[in-house]
């Protein structure tokens, strides 16, 4: 009995009322979910329609749901930290608890919030935007999602079981090594990220092939919508950067698990190697998430200014050069590691160079609006507010890149303010804009504009109130990651202001949740499929799009092809006769991605606790799933013409 | 937002980084102002342009603003806004490269006075400062003479950290197995806040300290006072000190011979019990000091290869 007790107290994180509360509420939520699913007999539905789906639109929706949940978790982390910092000498969180929270906050926001929200938008939009019926590898797509899902589960579990990682979101050794972090938290970090990271890599490959190979006839590369271009740039960056992450974490795992010495000094290893490697992934990673946001802004600006995007070629060139240049700046994250003047000067200059194409894009967006007719819908408001926010964030980025000056900014709140400004003002606002913009395409109704504007203002005002004071705090010597500070430092008032701003953004998030709930309840069905008067192909089909997307694959002749079609129709030019319907080739649902990823989760869990009785069944399960899939030949089917005709007639109200 | 920024800027004069008390921090402040100025030169027009365009071209019924839905290309304009950031960045790049060489942290500060050497070790979770020439040591506080260049040699006997005294100059990492060099100088007497800037585990936030700059004679008096009132630091004492935990300020009259180099090299010597170096006799210490140089050198080389 005692051994069981002993085990339980080590296995479950105990002793903190906050965590106990979380454990209880997680338990209750799980019971509630099981109850609701059983009561309404929805298990079969859940399995058939969602867990086994290979439909990119549904996978996209699942990504979005997960990322909103993760935004909640990461947001609660943030508010806990801001509460602790609100006043000097605050005793709300202990040091160890605070350290865990900022670590999980960072990992969750970048890898389990921003990345899946981005993948969600890729999935929902890209095939529709290029006139394709699915992604290039639907099965792989589903596998990517479930790897992300189970990786995220594994990471989040550490909160209640075993203990969270606490060595920062990039886990520098020696702190993240076995000696610095003997607990299992760091193992959760490694395996949670590793499992979902494989999914990210596969998504990158999948969308590159989709974009290069599956575009509708006539859509040359230089006729692709800008979001598609930005996705391509982002995915190219993914496939070059993520293998570095995988290897780096694998080496860290070897160090911790097998006592290898890649990053420990004792036997000739070197922690500086890790810092170089992790940033060779880490810097491109921030561009992986911002590039698609640039794409989203381009679509929205052009739609709501009712004008063709200005400087298309410049935009494409800027996107591609940013994605390449982002691989040559990594050392700006450690100018203070004593690399010598020449190395620092080199990386300072390469970093500044990135600001050039970024600046050009800003001008192009501005001149898209110039001589346009700007409509202030919520997606457009997010876009407009992004411009000043990102310009300031980019400027402080340029200031950080001035190596000798960075000696004074590095590791301070100045840095924190910079990257939140680009990540919130750029990435988060961008994805919010995209989500609101494409929401009607996903669900067939718009989100409530009034509530959306409340959320918009709260987020924006909250952002400046929260982060502008932090620039100043950084210049006043306040370093990041300190869980408390002395009254004498005089940092109290600005921290209090900053905390208020944090909570304003929190309320903004609540408004978004309310907005979604309200819109679901009181939705007005959009029957046009084109509620914003859009310009690209996704708006030419009904919302939500039918399973096969396009009854007949469109032929593209212009950059904003749907806009051109509408112009022709308005001028009274009849549409070219639609080609005859043909049976549509579709992939079959499969449970293997879900099951296989679950086995990865089991194996990962085993690695975390060093329990072979989990590792072996887990890996065996993965292998068996692969085998089963290899011998499956019956993986596709055809939708007969009749059914397509019936669906189209129903969706378009008779005018098929 | 502009108001907020303006309010902050007026308060900026008090911020540590903008209130430098030494030549390094002063040059860094100048550099920050230069880069800020170059940024503002772009920032203000862009914000004004944004405001103008958004207001002028908003969709109103009676709008008299021109509307050109297909105007999407203008080579001249595009050349202009490729050129603007290129020029600004080019200027900033030249300035940066100059300052990067001028402010290379291991470059000695020019002065007639002879430099003071302080050996810094970041521990879990405290700072050990050794004054080899004075043969004293302190924990979590520093005394330095004003107007004298101080050569900090830095290492770590715990997860890496970063040594930062904002009013004297920017930070530098402390890493196990290598000795970094940082030159700083205080131009006037005062008490300057310092901290460990790089997260190093549980009680990282407690790694703050104060550096007190005083006139030379007061400094000498302080050294005498430390010597006469404290116990020496022994090898065993150091072993205790390096155990994880926080610490109040402490001082020691006397330090074990070659302790700093032992700390640096304990991580780089192959196939040897890491604790075997303790209590090394003089010739061994010299040997160790050689390999410490080697470690430092290797470090530079490994960076050159990046
Ligand atoms: C104009 C473009 C930009 C420039 C010149 C720039 C420059 C820099 C520099 C020099 C640093 C290192 C500062 C230090 O550690 O002391 C940094 C940190 C950072 N930047 Fe940027 N940046 C830019 C845009 C972005 C964007 C678009 C993002 C993300 C979407 C981003 C996210 C970050 C993050 C997350 C960090 C710090 C991470 C950490 O240390 O934990 N930056 N930036
Ligand atoms: Cu970077
Ligand atoms: Cu180094």
Beta bridge partners of B163: B172, B196
pLDDT of B279: 29
The residue contributing the CA closest to ligand 1 atom 42 is A419
The answer to whether the Cα torsion of A421, A423, A427, A433 is positive or negative is negative
- Token pair 């600005």 is found at A494
Asked if A168 contacts B201 with a C-beta cutoff of 8 angstroms, the reply is no
Three-state SS at A479: strand
Q: Is B105 on the interface with A (CB under 8 A)?
A: yes
The whole-angstrom distance between residue A543's C-alpha and the CA centroid of its chain comes to 24
pLDDT of A11: 74
pLDDT of A640: 93
Residue A643 lies in a domain: no
**Parallel/antiparallel/unpaired status of strands B150-156 and B161-165:** unpaired
Shared domain for A41 and A105, answered yes or no, is no
The residue contributing the CA closest to ligand 1 atom 27 is A422
Burial class (CB in 10 A: 0-12, 13-18, 19+), A375: middle
Q: Is B59 on the interface with A (CB under 8 A)?
A: yes
Q: Which ligand is nearest to the CA of B303?
A: 3
Last residue of a domain, one of A579, A609, A637: A579
Residue A196 lies in a domain: yes
- A224–chain B nearest CA distance, Å: 16
pLDDT of B305: 32
Convert the pLDDT of each residue in B117-161 to its tens digit: 999 999 999 999 999 999 999 999 999 999 999 999 999 999 999
The alpha carbon of A329 and the centre of ligand 2 are apart by a number of angstroms equal to 6
Burial class (CB in 10 A: 0-12, 13-18, 19+), A434: buried
Shared domain for A424 and A514, answered yes or no, is yes
Interface touch A345/B43, C-beta < 8 Å: no
Q: Print the domain residue range for A208.
A: 51-579
The alpha carbon of B175 and the centre of ligand 3 are apart by a number of angstroms equal to 7
Which chain A residue has the Cα nearest residue B11? A472
Residues A490 and A568: their CA atoms lie apart, in Å, by 66
pLDDT of B293: 44
Asked if A229 contacts A319 with a C-beta cutoff of 8 angstroms, the reply is yes
* Other C-beta atoms lying within 10 Å of the C-beta of residue A571: 7
Beta bridge partners of B162: B173
Residues B167 and A589: their CA atoms lie apart, in Å, by 64
Interface touch B58/A331, C-beta < 8 Å: no
Shared domain for A106 and A31, answered yes or no, is no
pLDDT of B20: 96
pLDDT of A8: 72
Q: Give B45-79 as a DSSP string.
A: HHHHHHHHHHHHTB--TT--S---TT----HHHHH
A400: phi then psi, degrees, rounded to nearest 5: -65, -30
pLDDT of B62: 84
Shared domain for A27 and A77, answered yes or no, is no
Residue A595 lies in a domain: no
pLDDT of B292: 44
Q: Is A352 on the interface with B (CB under 8 A)?
A: yes
The angle formed by the CA atoms of residues B4, B9 and B13, to the nearest 5 degrees, is: 145
Q: Is the pLDDT of residue B291 over 80?
A: no
pLDDT of A222: 95
ipTM metric: 0.91
**DSSP assignment, residue A180?**
T
pLDDT, chain B, mean: 85
Burial code of B172-209, b = ≥16 C-beta within 10 A, e = fewer? bbbbbbbbbbbbbbbeeebebbbbbbbbbbbbbbbbbb
* Among candidate residues A289, A122, A322, A288, the one with its CA nearest the CA of residue A203: A122
Interface touch B78/A489, C-beta < 8 Å: no
Most ligand 1 atoms within 8 A of CB, residue of A282, A319, A400 to mutate? A400
The band of B4, judged by pLDDT with boundaries at 50, 70 and 90, is: low
* Other C-beta atoms lying within 10 Å of the C-beta of residue A587: 19
Shared domain for A322 and A454, answered yes or no, is yes
Residues of A within 8 A of B11 (CB-CB) are: 472
Q: Is A97 on the interface with B (CB under 8 A)?
A: no
The encoded tokens of residue A14 equal: 């105990």
Asked if A401 contacts A84 with a C-beta cutoff of 8 angstroms, the reply is no
Assess whether the C-beta atom of A115 lies below 6 angstroms from ligand 1.
no
Residues A542 and B62: their CA atoms lie apart, in Å, by 34
- B16–chain A nearest CA distance, Å: 5
- A398–chain B nearest CA distance, Å: 8
Mean pLDDT of B61-74: 88
Q: Give A495-522 as a DSSP string.
A: HHHHHHHHHHHHHHHHHHHHHHHHHHHT
Length of chain A measured in residues: 656
Residue A648 lies in a domain: no
pLDDT of A382: 97
Asked if A57 contacts A439 with a C-beta cutoff of 8 angstroms, the reply is no
Shared domain for A431 and A569, answered yes or no, is yes
Beta bridge partners of A586: A637
The alpha carbon of A70 and the centre of ligand 2 are apart by a number of angstroms equal to 24
Shared domain for A73 and A30, answered yes or no, is no
Residue A45 lies in a domain: yes
Assess whether the C-beta atom of A284 lies below 6 angstroms from ligand 1.
no
**DSSP assignment, residue B117?**
E
Beta bridge partners of B211: B142, B192
The alpha carbon of A176 and the centre of ligand 1 are apart by a number of angstroms equal to 22
Interface touch B27/A95, C-beta < 8 Å: no
Shared domain for A443 and A570, answered yes or no, is yes
Residue A252 lies in a domain: yes
Residues of A within 8 A of B272 (CB-CB) are: none
Mean pLDDT of B267-271: 59
Shared domain for A39 and A85, answered yes or no, is no
Shared domain for A272 and A199, answered yes or no, is yes
Q: Give the CATH number, domain containing residue A461.
A: 1.20.210.10
CA dihedral A639→A641→A647→A649, nearest 10 degrees, is 170
Interface touch B50/A353, C-beta < 8 Å: no
The partner residue sitting opposite A174, judged by closest CB among B85, B92, B159, is B159
Q: Give A80-134 as a DSSP string.
A: HHHHHHSSTT--SS-HHHHHHHHHHHHHIIIIIIIHHHHHHHHHHHHHHHTT-SS
The partner residue sitting opposite A391, judged by closest CB among B47, B69, B71, is B47
A355: phi then psi, degrees, rounded to nearest 5: -65, -20
> Which of B122, B171, B208, B295 to mutate: most A Cβ within 10 Å?
B171
Interface touch B172/A309, C-beta < 8 Å: no
Residues A222 and A316: their CA atoms lie apart, in Å, by 9
pLDDT of A161: 86
Residues A201 and A188: their CA atoms lie apart, in Å, by 20
Three-state SS at A376: coil
Last residue of a domain, one of A579, A594, A621: A579
Residue A585 lies in a domain: no
pLDDT of B6: 53
Residues A155 and A152: their CA atoms lie apart, in Å, by 5
Most ligand 1 atoms within 8 A of CB, residue of A110, A354, A418 to mutate? A418
Q: Which of residues 503-562 of A touch B (CB under 8 A)?
A: none
* Share above pLDDT 70 across residues of chain B, in percent, rounded to a whole number: 83
Cα distances from A594 to residues A52, A119, A139, A140, A599, in angstroms, run 7, 17, 11, 11, 9
- Which residues does chain A have with pLDDT short of 50? 654-656
Shared domain for A157 and A281, answered yes or no, is yes
pLDDT of B288: 41
The residue contributing the CA closest to ligand 1 atom 25 is A422
The alpha carbon of B154 and the centre of ligand 3 are apart by a number of angstroms equal to 11
Convert the pLDDT of each residue in A509-523 to its tens digit: 999 999 999 999 998
Cα distances from A274 to residues A129, A170, A173, A237, in angstroms, run 40, 10, 7, 20
- A479–chain B nearest CA distance, Å: 6
Residues B180 and B172: their CA atoms lie apart, in Å, by 8
Assess whether the C-beta atom of A285 lies below 6 angstroms from ligand 1.
no
The band of B170, judged by pLDDT with boundaries at 50, 70 and 90, is: very high
* Among candidate residues A633, A624, A580, A575, the one with its CA nearest the CA of residue A602: A624
Which chain A residue has the Cα nearest residue B168? A408
Residue A233 lies in a domain: yes
Q: Is B83 on the interface with A (CB under 8 A)?
A: no
Three-state SS at B182: strand
Asked if A533 contacts A507 with a C-beta cutoff of 8 angstroms, the reply is no
Shared domain for A453 and A572, answered yes or no, is yes
The alpha carbon of A397 and the centre of ligand 1 are apart by a number of angstroms equal to 6
Last residue of a domain, one of A517, A548, A579: A579
Asked if A603 contacts A253 with a C-beta cutoff of 8 angstroms, the reply is no
CB within 8 A of B257, min separation 6: which ones?
B280, B282, B285
pLDDT of B273: 36
Give the count of domains, chain A: 2
The encoded tokens of residue A394 equal: 């980019």
The encoded tokens of residue B71 equal: 């105007």
The distance in angstroms from the start CA to the end CA of chain A is 70
A345: phi then psi, degrees, rounded to nearest 5: -65, -40
Residues A373 and A384: their CA atoms lie apart, in Å, by 14
């Amino acid at each position: 009995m005692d051994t069981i007790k002993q085990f339980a107290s080590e296995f479950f994180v105990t002793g903190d009322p906050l965590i106990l509360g979380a454990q209880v509420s997680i338990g209750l939520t799980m019971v509630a979910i099981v109850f609701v699913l059983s009561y309404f007999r929805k298990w079969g539905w859940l399995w058939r329609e969602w867990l086994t789906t290979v439909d990119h639109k549904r996978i996209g929706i699942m990504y979005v749901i997960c990322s909103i949940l993760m935004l909640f978790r990461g947001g609660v982390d943030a508010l806990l930290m801001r509460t602790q910092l609100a006043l000097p000498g605050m005793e709300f969180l202990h040091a160890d608890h605070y350290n865990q929270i900022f670590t999980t906050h960072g990992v969750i926001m970048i890898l389990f919030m921003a990345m899946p929200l981005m993948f969600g938008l890729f999935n929902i939009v890209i095939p529709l935007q290029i006139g394709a019926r699915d992604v290039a590898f639907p099965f792989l797509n589903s596998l990517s999602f479930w790897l992300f899902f189970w990786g995220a589960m594994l990471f989040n579990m550490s909160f209640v079981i075993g203990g969270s990682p606490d060595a920062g979101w990039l886990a520098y050794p020696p702190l993240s090594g076995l000696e610095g972090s003997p607990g299992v938290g760091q193992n959760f970090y490694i395996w949670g990220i590793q499992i979902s990271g494989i999914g990210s890599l596969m998504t990158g490959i999948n969308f590159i092939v989709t974009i290069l190979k599956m575009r509708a006839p006539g859509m040359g590369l230089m006729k692709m919508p800008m979001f598609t271009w930005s996705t391509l740039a982002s995915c190219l960056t993914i496939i070059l950067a993520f293998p570095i992450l995988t290897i780096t974490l694998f080496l860290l795992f070897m160090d911790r698990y097998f006592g290898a010495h890649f990053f420990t000094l004792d036997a000739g290893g070197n922690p500086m190697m890790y810092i170089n490697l992790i940033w060779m992934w880490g810097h491109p990673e921030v561009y992986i998430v911002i590039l698609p946001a640039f794409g989203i802004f381009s679509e929205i600006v052009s739609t709501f200014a009712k004008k063709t995007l200005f400087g298309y070629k410049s935009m494409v060139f800027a996107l591609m050069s940013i994605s390449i240049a982002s691989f040559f700046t990594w050392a700006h994250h450690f100018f203070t590691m004593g690399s010598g003047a020449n190395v620092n000067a080199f990386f300072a200059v390469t970093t500044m160079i990135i600001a050039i194409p970024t600046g050009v894009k800003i001008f192009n967006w501005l001149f898209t609006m110039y001589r346009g007719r700007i409509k202030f819908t919520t997606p457009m408001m997010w876009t407009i507010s992004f411009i000043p926010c990102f310009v300031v964030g980019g400027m402080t980025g340029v200031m950080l890149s001035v190596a000798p000056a960075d000696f004074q900014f590095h590791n301070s709140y100045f840095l924190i303010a910079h990257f939140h400004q680009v990540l919130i003002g750029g990435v988060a606002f961008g994805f919010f804009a995209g989500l609101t913009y494409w929401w009607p395409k996903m669900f067939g109704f718009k989100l409530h504009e009034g509530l959306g504007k409340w959320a918009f203002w709260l987020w924006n005002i909250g952002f400046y109130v929260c982060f502008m004071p932090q620039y100043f705090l950084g210049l006043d010597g306040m370093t990041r990651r300190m869980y408390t500070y002395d009254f004498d430092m005089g940092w109290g008032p600005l921290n209090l202001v900053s905390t208020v701003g944090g909570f304003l953004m929190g309320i903004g998030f609540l408004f978004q949740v309310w907005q979604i709930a309200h819109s679901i309840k009181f939705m007005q069905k959009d029957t046009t499929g084109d509620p914003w008067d859009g310009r690209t192909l996704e708006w030419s089909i009904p919302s939500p799009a039918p399973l096969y997307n396009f009854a007949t694959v469109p032929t593209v002749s212009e950059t904003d092809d749907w806009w051109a079609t509408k112009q022709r129709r308005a001028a009274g030019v009849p549409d070219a006769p639609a080609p005859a319907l043909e049976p549509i080739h579709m992939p079959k649902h499969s449970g293997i991605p879900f099951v296989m990823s679950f086995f990865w989760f089991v194996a990962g869990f085993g690695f975390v606790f060093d329990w072979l009785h989990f590792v072996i069944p887990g890996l065996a399960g993965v292998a068996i799933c692969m085998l089963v899939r290899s011998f499956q030949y019956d993986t596709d089917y055809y939708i007969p013409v009749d059914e397509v005709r019936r669906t189209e007639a129903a969706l378009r109200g008779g005018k098929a | 937002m502009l108001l907020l920024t303006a309010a902050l800027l007026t308060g900026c004069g008090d911020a540590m980084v903008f209130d430098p008390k030494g030549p390094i921090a002063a040059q860094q402040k100048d550099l920050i102002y230069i880069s800020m100025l170059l940024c503002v030169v772009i920032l203000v027009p862009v914000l004004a342009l944004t405001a103008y365009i958004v207001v002028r071209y908003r969709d109103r019924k009676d709008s008299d603003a021109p509307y050109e839905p297909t105007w999407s290309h203008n080579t001249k304009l595009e050349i202009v806004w490729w050129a603007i950031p290129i020029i600004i960045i080019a200027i900033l790049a030249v300035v940066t490269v100059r300052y990067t060489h001028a402010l290379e942290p291991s470059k000695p500060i020019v002065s007639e006075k002879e430099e003071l050497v302080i050996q810094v070790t970041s521990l879990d979770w405290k700072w050990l400062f050794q004054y080899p020439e004075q043969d004293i040591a302190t924990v979590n506080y520093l005394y330095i003479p004003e107007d004298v260049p101080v050569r900090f040699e830095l290492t770590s006997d715990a997860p890496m950290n970063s040594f930062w005294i904002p009013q004297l100059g920017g930070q530098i990492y402390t890493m196990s197995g290598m000795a970094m060099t940082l030159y700083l100088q205080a131009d006037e007497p005062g008490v300057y806040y310092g901290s460990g800037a790089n997260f190093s585990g549980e009680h990282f936030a407690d790694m703050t300290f104060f550096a007190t700059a005083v006139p030379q004679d007061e400094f000498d008096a302080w050294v005498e006072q430390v010597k006469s009132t404290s116990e020496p630091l022994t090898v065993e004492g150091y072993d205790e000190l390096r155990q994880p935990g926080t610490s109040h300020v402490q001082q020691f009259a006397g330090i074990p011979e070659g302790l700093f180099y032992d700390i640096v090299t304990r991580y780089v010597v192959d196939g040897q019990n890491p604790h075997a170096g303790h209590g090394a006799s003089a010739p061994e210490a010299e040997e160790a000091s050689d390999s410490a140089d080697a470690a430092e050198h290797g470090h530079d080389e490994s960076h050159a290869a990046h």
